[in-house]
Structures are given as C-alpha cells and as structure tokens.
Structure 1
Amino acid sequence: MRMMSTPLVQHVLECFIKPQNSIAKSKQICNLTPWDIAMLSAHYIQKGLLFKKPSPLLNEQDFIENLLEKLKHSLSLTLFHFYPLSGCLVTQKTKDPSSYTIFIDCNNSKGARFIYATLDMKISDIISPIDVPPVVQSLFDHHKAINHDGHIMPLLSVQVTELVDGVFIGCSMNHTVGDGTSYWNFFNTWSEIFQAHDHEHDVPISHPPIHNRWFPEGYGPVINLPFKHHDEFISRYEAPLVRERIFHFSAESIAKLKAKANKEYNTTQISSFQSLSALVWRCITRARRLPYGRKTSCKLSTNNRTRMEPALPQEYFGNSIHTLSAGTATSGELLGNNLGWAAWKLHLAVVNHDDRAVLQSLKEWLESPLIYQLGRYFDPYCVMMGSSPRFNMYGNEFGMGKAIAVRSGYANKFDGKVTTYPSHEGGGGIDLEVCLSPIVMSALESDQEFVNATSVSYHL
C-alpha cells in the first residue's frame, strides 16, 4: 500500500520590510543587557496565530493580495515603533585594549523578512490531530536558527501561510532583542495598526515600547564579554524526538486545583498558576517512572519587570526574564506528598524572587557571564513552564476575526518543556503545549490525576 505524503509548505514570495519612516541617528545602536546577551545560544521566539478565511469570499485571489499588502504596510508602520527588529547583530572586537561586545545595529540591514507561502491543507489538518503535526514547524521561518545567527539573518521574520480555508501568521523574533512580553506587545501593536482606518499617517498606539535598556547600577551601556570567539559560547541544540500535545484546562478545573492545593496546605496564598504547575510537575514525574531517590525540578519562566524596585514598565522592550528553579525534590518526596505540598514549594520560590534576588543573580552573571545552552541548562528530569497565559494572544485581529488557535515552531523545545497559553474561550482557562518523549506522553495520557483535570477545547 502506498503511503500518502504530507503536503509541503511552498514559498511563493519573499521581501524585506523596513520602518515606514527613517530612524533617528540617536536610535541607530541598541546595546544589549546581561538578560539579552544570555540568550545568544537559544533559539528565536516562534509563535503564530491561525485564522479562518472570511466566508463567503467573492474573489479569493483579491482577498489574499489585499491581505498581504495591508500586512506589509502595517508591519512597516509597526517597525517604526519597534525599530530594533529591523536591525542586525554586530560583534565588535579590539585587541588593545582587549574587548568583545555585541550590539544591535538598527539601521544597516535589509530590515524584517516577509514571506508568503501556501500549504495544501485545511485548518482541521492542523488542529484536529491528537498530536501537533510536524508540518506546523514549517509555518515559521528561521527553523533551528539560534539568536547569534542574527549577525547574518533578519532579527524578525514573518511568514504568512495560506491554507485551503485559513491563514497562519507566524513570527520568528530574535530572543536577544526581546522576551515574550516584548514579542506580544509587538504583535498586539501590529494588529492595532492593521485595524486602524488611516494607514497613511502615524497611527496612535496603546502601548509604545520603551527602548531605554536597563542596566545594573555601575554597568552598561556596553558589556565587555570575556570571549575571543563565538565558538566559546555558542552551541547548536538538536531537540530529541518528542510528542507535542495541546491540553486544555478550563477556568472551573483550575479553580478546583487552586482550592485543593490551598486546602491541603492550610493556606490561601497559592495561586491558580502555581497549582496548575504543581499538578503538571507531579504528573509528568509520575509518567517518567523515576526512581524514588531521583532528583526532579520544576522551573518557571518569570517576568522580572514587576519585581524590580522601581518596577520596569510592561512596555520595556528587551529581555527581563529569569528561569526560576521553583521546586526541587526527589521523585519519592514529590509523589509521596500531596498537590498542596508541591504547590507551596513553587509559591515560596515565586514570592522570594524579589528585587534583591534579581540583582544578586545579575551580579553573579556579571562576575561570570553565562550564555544559556539548551542542551546543558535543563536537566533531563525537569519540567519547564514557559510563556504566560496572561499574554494577549487572542486579541489580535487581521481582518479575519478572532484567531482559532495559537501554535509555536521548533524553537526552544525539549522533553519536559511546557508552554502556556490563554485558552481560546478566555475567562481564565489555560492551554498547555506539552513536549514529552513518546513513552512518557503515553503514560501521561493515562494518568488519572492529570486526565481528571483536563477538558476538551473546541475551536471550530
């Protein structure tokens, strides 16, 4: 019997988009902070939205041509506000005195890449299978690229892929330029400008990005790195074979988890997200069938903006995140105790991650700069909770109504990576994108504690 081959994404056209207006000379260089530099060996951020085509369509060709032109024009207007995304990375080295610095040249580059592609598949082919199909990785540019590649690759690449009945808009953004908060502020602003009636003039935006990068007192704006060549801190990470699934947790289910965790630990301080993270940590650890004495950990991607004194505004454009080792325990301890015990460990780690802790971690980094290596930074028995259900993902519209799904590319995934999204229905529900080895995923799918907390999410 002949096997049917999976349709391939076909690139139809490619161009480069520059900011609508020229960038002031004072803004042509963007220096990198320790938080930015630490990302040089990680992958680009790859997130995108899947939309239904309007129905009925009188002329499909006119629809896609008009959509592409409007996307390109509004992107150009958006890049005026987010001008570092149109630049490129530059390394500057000197021997006498010895220095090694990396910065963003915001002006001397082609701009952001824009790709129009087609895929002979339907929306149901993307969101109906139990596992996220591998073809989703082809909906993004910069496949397997690391952030240091921003020396020769665009810092932002947008791929618009036309499906039979839908459109996927996927962005790949260099992680040294910004974090998830920065990424979604860019995406939200692009949507806001796209929907504006007047595209010929400057469009007022709700959350203008703040480009004045924050440095610890006594440091910056130039960080001199203790390297002679990028081979000393760059590695190429190849993800292992994993299954990737989207699990939906309703607001009601999460409220029950929170109530259970607080009751079990006789407190009221454990949050909804801490309760959900504790559940995921426990259930994945059980699915891995680790020996009783094996150490396991739960890590949380934490936004430092609100933890600083004074706080950094949410519009701060750049990286301001920390991977918090929120919980560590042996398999026997984690599974021998209840949900509240695990959730309380996560709670304590979060509340203790204050301004003092942030500054201490930066001091340690400056004394011995660390570039995150995906293959070494995360141990094989950890659970890593990334992204945030607080990001405004489903508020983005590009003339096709509300998106029906969020999906991500190959980037920064490994066995134990969990990416969090707001649910499509809103109201406090959360979707989890879970990556696990096939044998562990099968065990998780039959874990009664986990299954009882999940619910079906319908997007069509």
Structure 2
Amino acid sequence: MSTPAVKLVSECFIKPQSPIEESNQICYLTPWDIAMLSMDYIQKGLLFKKPQSIENQQDFMNNLLGNLKQSLSLALVHFYPLAGRLVTQKTEDPPSYAVFVDCINSPGAGFIHATLDMTISDILFPVDVPPVVQSFFDHHKAVNHDGHTMPLLTIKVTELLDGVFIGCSMNHCVGDGTAYWNFFNTWSEIFQAKAQTGHDEFHSVPISHHPIHNRWFPPGCNRLINLPFRHHDEFIGRYESNKLRERIFHFSAESIAKLKAKANSESSSNKISSFQSLSAFVWRSLTRARNLPHDQRTICRMAVNNRTRMEPPLPHEYFGNSLHAVHAEAKAGEVLEKDLGWAAWKLHLAVANHGDAAVQKYVKEWLQSPVVYRFDMLVEANSVMMSSSPRFNMYGNEFGMGKAVAVRSGYANKSDGGVTAYPGREGGGSVDLEVCLLPETMAALESDEEFMSIASACNPLC
C-alpha cells in the first residue's frame, strides 16, 4: 500500500506589515554568513494536535492560516532580512564575487498550505521517522546560494487528519540555530498576544527579544566582502547522502544526570557538562556500532555558539551566524577501551579552548583565504556531528493549539553520523536525539545493550 502524498493547496508571499526603512535596505554578510553559501537551509518544524473542540474543520484552518500570515507579517517587521533575497555583485578583473541581502526588492517570505491524509500516530509511531516528513518543508535539497531566486524563509503549514505541522525553512546564510529559534519564538509570541487580547487585527505587538541586526565584522573589514571567484559553480556543491535510517531516541533527565556524574567521576572533574557527557556517550556508542578497526581514526564534532565566547560577548539576540564546530579525535580503540570520562574530557577541552582568541584567529585566517563550506567537506567517514541544542526554546511555540507533540526536521544537513539535539517534550533537562545512520549501523546500535539501557524510544504523546 502506497504512502499518501502531501498535496499543495495554496502558496503566496508574505511581506513585512510596515515598510522597511531605507537605511535597512541592505544586509551585509559576515565571514560566518558567507561561509554557509553552499550549505543547506535550516529545516525544523513543530507537530500540533488539532484542538478537540473544533466544530468546523474548514473554519478552524481558515482562521489558523489567516492568523499565521498576519503574525508572520508583523514578525517580519522585526526580522526584515528574512523577507529579502540574496544579490551578487561581480567583477571580472580581478575576479570577485560579493553576496549580500537585498531586504526590499523581493516578493517576501514564502507561505505554503498543504494537506496530508495521515494522522499524528502515522508520523510519530513508526520506529524510523517516515520519509514523508521531508515533504513538510520547502526548499528540498536547496543550498543557501539558491536564495538568489528562492525565498530566504518559507513557512509550510501541512494539515493532517488530526493535527497540523508548521515547518519553517530558513536560509542559513541569514542566521544560525540561535537566530532561527529567536525568530520562531517571536513569531509565536506575536500570534499568542493576538489570541490573548482577542483583537481582530495585529498592530504593534510588543516582543520580548528584539533582534540585533548590527552584524559583527572584525576591525578594518569591508562590509562588502569579495570572494575570489568569477562564478558560483567554483564554490557551490550539492551533497547527496547515502540511504540513511533516521530515528529519535529519548534521554530522560535522570539518565543524563547519571551520565554526567559518571563522566565527571571518571575524569576526576566537576567541569564536564550534561551535553558533553551525552555527546561522549553517543560517540562511544556509534564507534562500537560501526565495529571499526582499533587503529581507525574517529572524530566527534560539536556545534558551539560563538556569541558568549567573544570579548565582549555578542548578545543572544544577535541575528546572523555566530557558530563554529569544535572537535575531538581519537583512535577507535581508545574511544572504546578508555572510559566515558576520558572521551567526555576530550570534548570538554575542545569546547573550553574555543574562546575569543580562537574565534578571532579563525576569522582572520578566513579573510586571508576565504572558504565556502560544502557539506561534503564536513562529512567524514566514522565521524559524529552533534548539532542544534536542547537549550533552544522549541516547545514554547504554541500558535493557539497548545504545546506541540513533537519536533521534526527536513532533508537538509543530514549524513551518516549526524545527530540533532532537541529538548525533550517533558522538559526538566531531558533530551531527544535525532540520529541518522547507515541501516546496518542503526541495526547494530539498536542491539547495543549499553546504549539502549540509557536511551529509550521517544513517545511524545505520553
């Protein structure tokens, strides 16, 4: 029996509710932003139950869609670069390629309404995340450079038989995960403010965290950065992963606390964080599941936020990219024969050593020799990549339907060994990990007694 397909109902563009000031017409991109031109869009979304009190399904959806569009239009007043498009200025002699965001000359952000004849249980209860979830997002297999002709932000609202999925695709050149969830949280805050006041129109709704658009450039750096290329074919690549299994594993607050205590005890420390302990546990588990030769090199990477590591620090509301991937590496035999504390300490040192000096050094070297990262440059055999953060406020976004039942992601940025962290729905320090592996590796992980004694199947409806 074939799986039902997502059906397009309508699509349109959403502009900011009020005109963008002329001084904000251009958003210049920093080295961190430009380096992302060949990477994928960020694709994350929330699955909601339809309210049980619905009497008329059509009226409910019409009201929801209208309110989502209105609140999005107002959110874009604050996050105006998301309504723009990428623009390139080129010169031939010497060759240069400069990319920036035109925030005005654009039809706006995308908004799509679709339907799917499936239920919440059809999405959540298969062991693996069903492939149809990829259809809940726009920009399938797009890279950020495609933002020249595609929206920098698209919201796709997919109506299920008993639920609604709100999928958001955001160009990674415009912002990182912190910026992404700051936008998502603000959009929800505006939506909820209207629902609480009962006003029919959205006016000037106050928001808790105003985005800061004054992008960080090192001293003396030109705001319009020129890449030494004539054409984007010289630096754009499109990565196609092998066939992967994708599964969500749940880690309770209690199990993570035990991992942290174990890691710190074994390393005679009190500095290893909960997430470093969990990442080390995953690194060891995947190394074992892959059955690697003992002399095989293996790497664990962790995405870290530069904002708090700089001097002076950038504010949390800084809208743009400010992230880096730190890593620890070792022979597979070392990872397996030594204890959890040894692996966690290596990850702790990688994070602790990434301070202002390391950030400034990276930017200085990048300006001397600019690099546009392709996904295949970051994907290494036998590696683990821990991305996203359980600290992001995902379940605080309600859109009039109560707390979401689950977070899911699209096709983008996935590879063998890719692990995406979400907060557990019950909160309290629990974590859900979205793990992508080759089928044979996933089967070995599912048979790993140590891993499965700590992890559990994710049941968001409990």
TMscore range, shorter length:
over 0.9
Matches within 5 A, 1:227-246: 227-246=229-248
**Alpha-carbon contact 2:95-2:230 (below 8 Å) kept:** no
Q: Take 1:58 and 1:105, find their aligned partners in 2: how far apart are those partners?
A: 44
Q: Take 1:313 and 1:177, find their aligned partners in 2: how far apart are those partners?
A: 17
**Structure 2 unaligned blocks of 5 or more:** none
What secondary structure is seen at the aligned counterpart in 2 of 1:218? coil
Matches within 5 A, 1:180-329: 180-196=177-193, 197=197, 198=199, 199-325=201-327, 327-329=328-330
Of the structure 1 ranges 92-101 and 128-137, higher mean CA displacement relative to structure 2 is found in: 92-101
What is the aligned counterpart of 1:51 among 48, 52, 57? Answer: 48
Match of 1:137 in 2: 134
Amino acid at match of 2:368: E
- Write out the 4+ residue segments of structure 1 that deviate beyond 3 Å after TM superposition: 95-99
Of the structure 1 ranges 53-62 and 173-182, higher mean CA displacement relative to structure 2 is found in: 53-62
**Residue 444 in 1 paired to residue 445 in 2?**
yes
What is the aligned counterpart of 1:147 among 141, 144, 148? Answer: 144
Count of equivalent residues: 456
Match of 2:345 in 1: 344
Of the structure 1 ranges 211-220 and 198-207, higher mean CA displacement relative to structure 2 is found in: 198-207
Matches within 5 A, 1:364-379: 364-379=365-380
Identity percentage of aligned residues: 69
Q: Take 1:303 and 1:448, find their aligned partners in 2: how far apart are those partners?
A: 33
Match of 2:2 in 1: 5
What is the aligned counterpart of 2:36 among 34, 39, 55? Answer: 39
Q: Take 1:52 and 1:98, find their aligned partners in 2: how far apart are those partners?
A: 53
What secondary structure is seen at the aligned counterpart in 2 of 1:13? strand
Match of 1:426 in 2: 427
CA separation of 1:156/1:266 partners in 2, compared to 1, >3 Å: closer, same or farther? same
**Alpha-carbon contact 1:33-1:220 (below 8 Å) kept:** no
**Alpha-carbon contact 1:53-1:400 (below 8 Å) kept:** yes
Amino acid at match of 2:331: T
Q: So what's the TM-score if we normalise by structure 2? A: 0.97
Match of 2:416 in 1: 415
CA shift for structure 1 position 178 = 0.2
**Alpha-carbon contact 2:386-2:421 (below 8 Å) kept:** yes
Cα deviation 1:368-404 (Å, max 9, x = unaligned) = 1111111122211110000000000000011100000
Cα deviation 1:300-342 (Å, max 9, x = unaligned) = 01100000100000100000000112x1000011111000000
Q: Take 2:368 and 2:351, find their aligned partners in 1: how far apart are those partners?
A: 24
What secondary structure is seen at the aligned counterpart in 2 of 1:12? strand
Cα deviation 1:401-453 (Å, max 9, x = unaligned) = 00000000000000000000000000000000000000000001111221111
Match of 2:86 in 1: 89
CA shift for structure 1 position 143 = 0.4
**Alpha-carbon contact 2:91-2:230 (below 8 Å) kept:** no
Q: Take 1:382 and 1:97, find their aligned partners in 2: how far apart are those partners?
A: 39
CA shift for structure 1 position 97 = 6.2
Match of 1:404 in 2: 405
What CA RMSD, in Å, does the superposition of the two structures yield over aligned residues? 0.9
Q: Take 1:97 and 1:138, find their aligned partners in 2: how far apart are those partners?
A: 43
Amino acid at match of 2:397: N
What is the aligned counterpart of 2:24 among 20, 24, 27? Answer: 27
Q: Take 1:445 and 1:95, find their aligned partners in 2: how far apart are those partners?
A: 55
What secondary structure is seen at the aligned counterpart in 1 of 2:456? coil
Q: Take 1:289 and 1:157, find their aligned partners in 2: how far apart are those partners?
A: 41
Match of 1:159 in 2: 156
What is the aligned counterpart of 2:108 among 101, 108, 111? Answer: 111
**Alpha-carbon contact 2:248-2:457 (below 8 Å) kept:** no
What is the aligned counterpart of 2:120 among 117, 120, 123? Answer: 123
Q: So what's the TM-score if we normalise by structure 1? A: 0.98
What secondary structure is seen at the aligned counterpart in 2 of 1:222? coil
What secondary structure is seen at the aligned counterpart in 2 of 1:80? helix
Match of 2:336 in 1: 335
**Alpha-carbon contact 2:12-2:111 (below 8 Å) kept:** yes
Q: Take 1:435 and 1:216, find their aligned partners in 2: how far apart are those partners?
A: 36
Q: Take 2:174 and 2:92, find their aligned partners in 1: how far apart are those partners?
A: 27
Q: Take 1:349 and 1:375, find their aligned partners in 2: how far apart are those partners?
A: 22
Match of 2:167 in 1: 170
Q: Take 1:97 and 1:300, find their aligned partners in 2: how far apart are those partners?
A: 38
Amino acid at match of 2:70: H
Match of 1:356 in 2: 357
Of the structure 1 ranges 366-375 and 181-190, higher mean CA displacement relative to structure 2 is found in: 366-375
**Alpha-carbon contact 1:244-1:435 (below 8 Å) kept:** yes
**Alpha-carbon contact 2:44-2:409 (below 8 Å) kept:** yes
**Alpha-carbon contact 2:92-2:230 (below 8 Å) kept:** no
Match of 2:62 in 1: 65
